Amino acid sequence: MNELKTKIRIDNFNFYYGKKHALKNISMNVPEHRVTALIGPSGCGKSTFLRSLNRMNDLIEHTRCDGTVVVDNVNIYDDAIDVVELRKKIGMIFQRSNPFPKSIYDNVAYGPRINNIKEKKQLDEIVERSLIRAALWDEVKDDLSKSGLALSGGQQQRLCIARAVAVDPEILLMDEPASALDPLATTKIEELIHELKGKYTIVIVTHNMQQAARVSDFTAFFYMGEQIEFDETKKIFTMPGKKQTEDYITGRFG
Amino acid sequence: MERHFQQDLELLKSNVIRMGSAVEQNLFNALDAVMKNDAALASRVIASDGTINQFEIEIDNMVVDLLALQQPVASDLRLILAIQKINNDLERIGDHAVNIAESAYRLTETPQDEPLMEIPNMAKIAKEMFQQALDSFIHLNALQAQSVLESDDRIDALNRGMNSKVIQFIKNDMKSIEGGLELLRISRNLERVADLTTNIAEEVIFHTQAKIVKHHAAEEKQKKQ
């Protein structure tokens, strides 16, 4: 683990929804170009933690946090940070695929256009490259004007991944990206995650333990707002260090 | 709430224990047949190996089902992997018990009574080792498993001693070649029983402590670092 470069360094991070202390003193080094999975029972704080990594929680009222989240030596909670710029660098993919009611092309070109890329040729290149990276190109290249909503669930989710990578992020946050998909579409997303980690740092929340085991290099187990254990995935799933982790992953919890 | 899976695991474990008891009985009977020159007992051992083979197949099937259907992790995974190997080890020990029983049977047909030399000693240690290994599995007791590992060297030394003793024995009386060779076979089989018993103990340690001890794996790893 030592030779890996840290992409996100979290130090003593706390998060509160009003009086509820939702994340307690979380410290973790998320390694670059690796997949880090966050697991734990519902309400353990894993999604809150994920959303803290690109300040999506800022949008929720009556929340506050302390501690630091440092991406490439910059504390993203610093007052000087431009949140829009930050989210360009840190993309997010949600549980329910949420393509815009626009064509496939316009979905992918949406971010680059906001970033003032207007030239058709350049946009074409970005759309093709992003759809290739999201392993969707071959299935849609003949009709990019088709509505994104006309695609299957698995294709829609890959379209959202294409849309996220179109603005050249460095980090991808995924909140249960395959939980609404059938096994075949899930396999495609998992394979895609495996491909994407060569270029991006990925943090994924999943309720599917086997998925965490299959796709991630590192796993963090959260319970009641605390980070119980963070280690290499193969260690977590063969010889976890903490009894609580063991009980959770073997289904002996509670 | 106990999961259905836990009940399946317990059933799997109890099948291994039942198989272990059957192997134990066959091994002990085979050795008694040698010691008491008892052809009938030797025949019983040979006839009952089928039961052990049946156990092996049944346990194999259960292991495949649990791995495929339950995707176990952590200590559950280690237990199932350990059982898969222990199953194999037990079946092999059963085969060696049959070999020993066959030698015992042939010894009853030789004209003279051979001195058993180190065999009674080896048999005593092998029995103790086997009982301890099986106990360590039943109670998932790593300390007890560790003590099995330490006994293996004693059997190896006695087995080496048997070679020179049997050679001397044959030299003294050429008519004893057949009997001498059977004694060597028994000794070699006992040495293999002790090795396989050691494997079982190593698997118990793997399951309970998540530590690989076979082939002195820990020391090798340390050397590399």
Q: Which of B10, B67, B73, B212 to mutate to test the interface with A (most CBs of A within 10 A)?
A: B73
Would you call A239 and B76 a contact, using CB atoms and an 8 Å cutoff?
no
Query: Hey, are the CB atoms on B74 and A239 less than 8 Å from each other?
Result: yes
Beta carbons of A239 and B71 less than 8 Å apart: no
CA gap A43, B131 in Å, rounded:
48
**Domain extents in chain A:** 6-99+173-249
CATH number, domain at B10? 1.20.58.220
Please identify, in words, the CATH class of the domain defined by A6-99+173-249: alpha beta
Q: Note the pLDDT of residue B219.
A: 65
A66-106, pLDDT tens digit by residue?
999 999 999 999 999 999 899 999 999 998 889 999 999 99
> Nearest residue on chain B to A251, judged by CA atoms?
B3
Q: Are A33 and A23 in contact (CB under 8 A)?
A: no
The pLDDT tens digits for B59-103 are 999 999 999 888 899 999 999 999 999 999 999 999 999 999 999
Q: How many domains does chain B have?
A: 1
CA angle B48, B50, B54 (to 5 degrees): 130
B5 touches chain A (CB under 8 A): yes
Residue-wise over B15-32: b if at least 16 C-beta within 10 A, else e? bbeebbebbbbbbbbbbb
pLDDT at A96: 87
Given pLDDT bands bounded at 50, 70 and 90, which one contains residue B111? confident
Range of the domain at B168: 2-224
Nearest CA in chain B to A211: B71
Name the residue among B3, B72, B210 with its Cβ closest to that of A239.
B210
Q: What is the mean predicted confidence (pLDDT) over B137-141?
A: 95
Rounded to two decimals, the pTM is 0.82
Cβ atoms of A15 and A50 closer than 8 Å: no
Residue A113 pLDDT:
95
Backbone angles phi, psi at A37, to 5 degrees: -100, 140
Q: Which residues of A touch B (CB under 8 A)?
A: 209-210, 213, 237-240, 245-246, 249-252
Given an 8 Å threshold on Cβ–Cβ distance, is B5 in contact with A251? yes
pLDDT band at B220, cuts 50/70/90? low
3-class SS of residue A223: strand
Report pLDDT digits (tens) over A201-253: 999 999 999 999 999 999 999 999 999 999 999 999 999 999 999 999 998 87
Q: What pLDDT is stored for residue B218 in this prediction?
A: 61
Nearest residue of chain B to residue A250 (CA atoms): B73
Q: What is the pLDDT of residues A36-59, one digit of tens each?
A: 999 999 999 999 999 999 999 988
pLDDT of residue A97: 87
Which residues from chain A sit within 8 angstroms of residue B3, using beta carbons? 251-252
Residue A146 — pLDDT band, cuts 50, 70, 90?
Answer: very high
